[in-house]
Copies of this chain bind each other. A is one copy, B any other.
Amino acid sequence: MNEIFKTHLEKFIKIDEREFGEILKFFRIQSVPAKQNLLEEGKVCRDYYFVLKGILRLFFLNEKGVEQTTEFAIETWWITDNMAYEHGRPSSFSIQAIEKTAFLSISRENQENLLREFPKMEHYFRLIYQRAYAASQMRMKYFLSYSKEEFYFSFVKSYPEFVQRVPQYLIASYLGFTPEYLSEIRKRQIS
Protein backbone atom coordinates (compact mmCIF):
# COMPACT_ATOMS: atom_id res chain seq x y z
CA MET A 1 0.00 0.00 0.00
CA ASN A 2 2.89 2.34 0.83
CA GLU A 3 4.09 1.78 -2.73
CA ILE A 4 1.29 4.08 -3.85
CA PHE A 5 2.86 6.92 -1.90
CA LYS A 6 6.37 6.13 -3.15
CA THR A 7 5.27 6.04 -6.79
CA HIS A 8 3.46 9.32 -6.27
CA LEU A 9 6.50 11.00 -4.66
CA GLU A 10 8.75 9.86 -7.50
CA LYS A 11 6.73 11.97 -9.91
CA PHE A 12 8.08 15.02 -8.09
CA ILE A 13 11.42 14.12 -6.51
CA LYS A 14 14.24 11.54 -6.77
CA ILE A 15 14.16 9.21 -3.81
CA ASP A 16 15.81 5.89 -2.88
CA GLU A 17 14.44 2.99 -0.86
CA ARG A 18 16.31 3.86 2.33
CA GLU A 19 15.26 7.51 2.22
CA PHE A 20 11.67 6.55 1.60
CA GLY A 21 11.79 4.36 4.68
CA GLU A 22 13.05 7.29 6.75
CA ILE A 23 10.37 9.58 5.39
CA LEU A 24 7.61 7.07 6.10
CA LYS A 25 8.47 7.16 9.79
CA PHE A 26 6.88 10.60 10.01
CA PHE A 27 3.52 9.20 8.90
CA ARG A 28 0.88 6.94 10.35
CA ILE A 29 -1.03 4.54 8.13
CA GLN A 30 -4.70 4.02 8.92
CA SER A 31 -7.87 2.57 7.49
CA VAL A 32 -11.52 3.43 8.16
CA PRO A 33 -14.86 2.01 6.96
CA ALA A 34 -17.31 4.05 4.86
CA LYS A 35 -19.19 6.81 6.71
CA GLN A 36 -16.57 7.16 9.43
CA ASN A 37 -15.20 10.60 10.32
CA LEU A 38 -11.46 11.31 10.49
CA LEU A 39 -12.01 14.86 11.69
CA GLU A 40 -15.00 16.56 13.26
CA GLU A 41 -16.02 20.20 12.92
CA GLY A 42 -15.03 22.08 16.07
CA LYS A 43 -12.27 19.68 17.10
CA VAL A 44 -8.63 20.71 16.75
CA CYS A 45 -7.27 19.77 13.33
CA ARG A 46 -3.87 18.13 13.84
CA ASP A 47 -3.37 16.02 10.73
CA TYR A 48 -2.95 16.21 7.00
CA TYR A 49 -4.30 13.19 5.09
CA PHE A 50 -3.02 11.43 1.98
CA VAL A 51 -5.45 8.97 0.39
CA LEU A 52 -3.95 5.59 -0.59
CA LYS A 53 -7.21 3.87 -1.52
CA GLY A 54 -10.80 5.10 -1.27
CA ILE A 55 -12.48 8.53 -1.15
CA LEU A 56 -12.69 11.20 1.52
CA ARG A 57 -14.83 14.31 1.56
CA LEU A 58 -14.55 17.64 3.37
CA PHE A 59 -17.82 19.26 4.51
CA PHE A 60 -19.44 21.55 7.05
CA LEU A 61 -22.92 22.09 8.47
CA ASN A 62 -24.58 25.22 7.12
CA GLU A 63 -27.01 27.34 9.18
CA LYS A 64 -29.92 25.12 8.13
CA GLY A 65 -28.13 22.06 9.48
CA VAL A 66 -27.51 20.66 6.00
CA GLU A 67 -24.11 19.14 5.19
CA GLN A 68 -22.30 21.15 2.56
CA THR A 69 -19.46 19.24 0.83
CA THR A 70 -16.65 21.42 -0.51
CA GLU A 71 -13.93 18.95 -1.51
CA PHE A 72 -13.30 15.35 -2.40
CA ALA A 73 -10.00 13.45 -2.26
CA ILE A 74 -9.32 10.22 -4.15
CA GLU A 75 -6.13 8.15 -4.47
CA THR A 76 -2.92 10.25 -4.18
CA TRP A 77 -4.76 13.43 -3.15
CA TRP A 78 -4.10 15.35 0.03
CA ILE A 79 -6.92 16.75 2.15
CA THR A 80 -7.44 18.70 5.38
CA ASP A 81 -8.86 21.95 6.75
CA ASN A 82 -5.69 23.83 5.83
CA MET A 83 -6.41 26.96 7.82
CA ALA A 84 -7.10 25.02 11.02
CA TYR A 85 -4.18 22.64 10.39
CA GLU A 86 -1.71 25.47 9.88
CA HIS A 87 -2.69 27.25 13.09
CA GLY A 88 -3.49 24.18 15.18
CA ARG A 89 -7.00 25.51 15.67
CA PRO A 90 -10.48 23.94 15.82
CA SER A 91 -11.65 22.86 12.42
CA SER A 92 -14.37 24.57 10.37
CA PHE A 93 -14.96 21.31 8.51
CA SER A 94 -15.46 17.62 9.06
CA ILE A 95 -13.74 14.91 7.01
CA GLN A 96 -15.53 11.66 6.28
CA ALA A 97 -14.82 8.49 4.31
CA ILE A 98 -17.28 7.90 1.46
CA GLU A 99 -15.88 4.42 0.74
CA LYS A 100 -13.71 2.22 2.95
CA THR A 101 -10.50 4.23 2.85
CA ALA A 102 -6.80 3.66 3.58
CA PHE A 103 -4.70 6.75 4.11
CA LEU A 104 -1.53 8.22 5.56
CA SER A 105 -1.66 11.00 8.11
CA ILE A 106 0.99 13.40 9.31
CA SER A 107 0.77 15.87 12.19
CA ARG A 108 1.88 19.45 11.74
CA GLU A 109 4.86 18.98 14.09
CA ASN A 110 5.94 15.91 12.18
CA GLN A 111 5.53 17.70 8.89
CA GLU A 112 7.74 20.54 10.10
CA ASN A 113 10.42 18.12 11.25
CA LEU A 114 10.16 16.17 8.01
CA LEU A 115 10.64 19.30 5.90
CA ARG A 116 13.57 20.43 8.02
CA GLU A 117 15.28 17.06 7.73
CA PHE A 118 14.48 16.44 4.05
CA PRO A 119 14.70 19.60 1.93
CA LYS A 120 13.46 17.62 -1.04
CA MET A 121 10.18 17.19 0.83
CA GLU A 122 9.98 20.96 1.20
CA HIS A 123 10.33 21.07 -2.58
CA TYR A 124 7.65 18.40 -2.94
CA PHE A 125 5.15 20.19 -0.72
CA ARG A 126 5.83 23.53 -2.40
CA LEU A 127 4.81 21.91 -5.69
CA ILE A 128 1.77 20.22 -4.13
CA TYR A 129 0.46 23.44 -2.60
CA GLN A 130 1.19 25.38 -5.76
CA ARG A 131 -0.87 22.92 -7.80
CA ALA A 132 -3.66 22.78 -5.27
CA TYR A 133 -3.86 26.56 -5.30
CA ALA A 134 -3.82 26.71 -9.11
CA ALA A 135 -6.63 24.14 -9.24
CA SER A 136 -8.75 26.05 -6.75
CA GLN A 137 -8.23 29.25 -8.72
CA MET A 138 -9.59 27.51 -11.81
CA ARG A 139 -12.43 25.99 -9.82
CA MET A 140 -13.50 29.46 -8.73
CA LYS A 141 -13.42 30.56 -12.36
CA TYR A 142 -15.69 27.72 -13.45
CA PHE A 143 -17.94 28.38 -10.49
CA LEU A 144 -18.43 32.00 -11.49
CA SER A 145 -18.60 31.58 -15.26
CA TYR A 146 -20.93 28.63 -15.70
CA SER A 147 -24.63 28.21 -14.95
CA LYS A 148 -25.33 25.34 -12.54
CA GLU A 149 -26.32 23.14 -15.46
CA GLU A 150 -23.14 23.87 -17.45
CA PHE A 151 -21.10 23.48 -14.27
CA TYR A 152 -22.49 20.01 -13.72
CA PHE A 153 -21.76 18.81 -17.24
CA SER A 154 -18.25 20.24 -17.25
CA PHE A 155 -17.67 18.46 -13.93
CA VAL A 156 -18.91 15.14 -15.31
CA LYS A 157 -16.61 15.56 -18.30
CA SER A 158 -13.55 16.45 -16.20
CA TYR A 159 -14.06 13.91 -13.41
CA PRO A 160 -16.12 10.97 -14.73
CA GLU A 161 -14.71 8.73 -11.97
CA PHE A 162 -16.37 10.85 -9.28
CA VAL A 163 -19.78 10.48 -10.84
CA GLN A 164 -19.25 6.71 -10.72
CA ARG A 165 -18.07 6.52 -7.14
CA VAL A 166 -19.88 9.35 -5.34
CA PRO A 167 -23.65 9.54 -4.63
CA GLN A 168 -25.47 12.26 -6.54
CA TYR A 169 -26.58 14.23 -3.53
CA LEU A 170 -22.93 14.74 -2.58
CA ILE A 171 -22.05 15.89 -6.09
CA ALA A 172 -24.98 18.32 -6.02
CA SER A 173 -23.75 19.66 -2.68
CA TYR A 174 -20.18 19.99 -3.98
CA LEU A 175 -21.38 21.92 -7.03
CA GLY A 176 -23.47 24.22 -4.86
CA PHE A 177 -27.04 23.21 -5.57
CA THR A 178 -29.81 20.85 -4.42
CA PRO A 179 -30.17 17.15 -5.27
CA GLU A 180 -33.64 17.92 -6.62
CA TYR A 181 -32.24 20.35 -9.14
CA LEU A 182 -29.49 17.94 -10.16
CA SER A 183 -32.16 15.35 -10.80
CA GLU A 184 -34.01 17.81 -13.03
CA ILE A 185 -30.85 18.63 -14.99
CA ARG A 186 -30.12 14.96 -15.58
CA LYS A 187 -33.64 14.35 -16.84
CA ARG A 188 -33.23 17.08 -19.46
CA GLN A 189 -29.99 15.58 -20.75
CA ILE A 190 -31.32 12.04 -21.15
CA SER A 191 -34.44 12.98 -23.11
User: In the bound complex, what is the Cα–Cα distance between A135 and B136 (angstroms)?
Assistant: 10
Interface residues of A in 114-141 (CB under 8 A from B): 115, 119, 122-123, 125-126, 129-141
Q: Is A143 an interface residue (CB 8 A)?
A: yes
Contacts of A137 in B (CB 8 A): 70-71, 81-83, 136
Asked whether A140 lies within 8 Å of B70 as measured between CB atoms, the reply is yes
Beta-carbon nearest neighbor of A130 in chain B = B129
Sample 20 A-B pairs with CB under 8 A, ordered by A number. Answer: A60-B141, A60-B145, A63-B145, A70-B137, A71-B137, A81-B137, A82-B130, A92-B141, A122-B126, A125-B126, A129-B130, A129-B132, A129-B133, A132-B133, A133-B133, A136-B136, A139-B140, A140-B140, A143-B176, A144-B176
Binding site for B on A (CB under 8 A): 60, 62-63, 68, 70-71, 81-83, 85-86, 92-93, 115, 119, 122-123, 125-126, 129-141, 143-145, 176
Partner of A143, one of B60, B129, B143: B143
Beta-carbon nearest neighbor of A125 in chain B = B126
Q: Count chain B CB atoms within 10 A of each CB in A63, A68, A137 and give the residue with the most.
A: A137
Contacts of A125 in B (CB 8 A): 126, 130
CB of A117, distance to nearest CB on chain B (Å) = 13
Contacts of A129 in B (CB 8 A): 126, 129-130, 132-133
Asked whether A136 lies within 8 Å of B140 as measured between CB atoms, the reply is yes
- Given A122-B123, A123-B122, A132-B133, the answer on whether A145 and B83 have CB atoms closer than 8 Å is no
